[in-house]
Amino acid sequence: MAATKKAGKKTVKKVKPAYRRVLLKLSGEAFQGPQGFGIHGETIQAIARELKEVHELGVQTAIMVGGGNIFRGARQKGFEIDRATGDYMGMLATVINALALQDALEKEGVFTRVLSAIEMKEVSEPFIRRRAVRHLEKDRVVIFAAGTGNPYFSTDTAAALRAMEIKADVILKATRVDGVYDADPEQIPDAKFFAAISYREVLSQNLKVMDSTAISLCMDNGMPIVVFNMNRTGNIKRVVLGERVGSKVTPA
């Protein structure tokens, strides 16, 4: 935060965020930390602290959580199960993560609401678009759970859909790497990094940014995506402030 002195008094210049309203996509892997499964307490507390800093900037923040740290739906290895049933089980896993994140945020003094696409009135509110927008306007962090509420749709697609519905300025896609590459940089050290790339290039090169349905939805509605490394402390705030962090996916 910049600061200047004037007439013997310290005047603080407030930093202006680049975005007014954002949707942050957190995969289930973001919650598991170094233990490799489940919910890691220190990791989720660190995420909550970063989100509090963003919230204090005055940015309206919505979060779509995944559930892969608990159950990966039909992709669960060694477990043959009907696709629709597996997807519903994965949706329930996202609710667990949403409640854990809500608890961590509220311990940091941030007011939150969990909105679930599958009705669970004892633990969350049902997703209603106008209600979600109103919570954001009232300075609450909104956590979306249960994806779209339908099987065969990923939480990436759910994130794109919710971003359109709440009229977010951008989707922030948190990953384990620094942005978009032409190959997995964890497997191929010399993979090419893209600071900026178009939706069509992502689709034509089959880059693993988000699934093709989510990318197509963003392309059709001109929703920008910033892909960044969640494991670098402070990156969420840097992205929100408009710093050159990660990769940006745009129309051109």
Does position 3 have pLDDT exceeding 90, yes or no? Answer: no
pLDDT of 5 reads: 46
Considering the chain, what percentage of its residues have pLDDT values greater than 70? 92
What pLDDT, in 10s, does the model give residues 198-221? 999 999 999 989 999 999 999 999
pLDDT of 53 reads: 96
Does position 7 have pLDDT exceeding 50, yes or no? Answer: no
pTM value is: 0.91
Whether residue 8 is contained in a domain is answered as: no
Look at the chain and count its residues. 252
pLDDT of 72 reads: 77
CATH number of the structural domain spanning residue 231 = 3.40.1160.10
What pLDDT, in 10s, does the model give residues 130-183? 999 999 999 999 999 999 999 999 999 999 999 999 999 999 999 999 999 999
Whether residue 112 is contained in a domain is answered as: yes
Into how many domains does the chain fold?
A: 1
Whether residue 14 is contained in a domain is answered as: no
> Could you give the CA distance from residue 26 to residue 93 in angstroms, rounded to a whole number?
13
Output 23 or 184, whichever has higher pLDDT.
Answer: 23
Whether residue 10 is contained in a domain is answered as: no
Whether residue 146 is contained in a domain is answered as: yes
141 token code pair: 């962090």
Whether residue 223 is contained in a domain is answered as: yes
Residue 132 belongs to domain spanning = 22-250
Whether residue 157 is contained in a domain is answered as: yes
pLDDT of 228 reads: 97
Residue 141 · residue 171 · CB < 8 Å: no
Whether residue 227 is contained in a domain is answered as: yes
Does position 101 have pLDDT exceeding 50, yes or no? Answer: yes
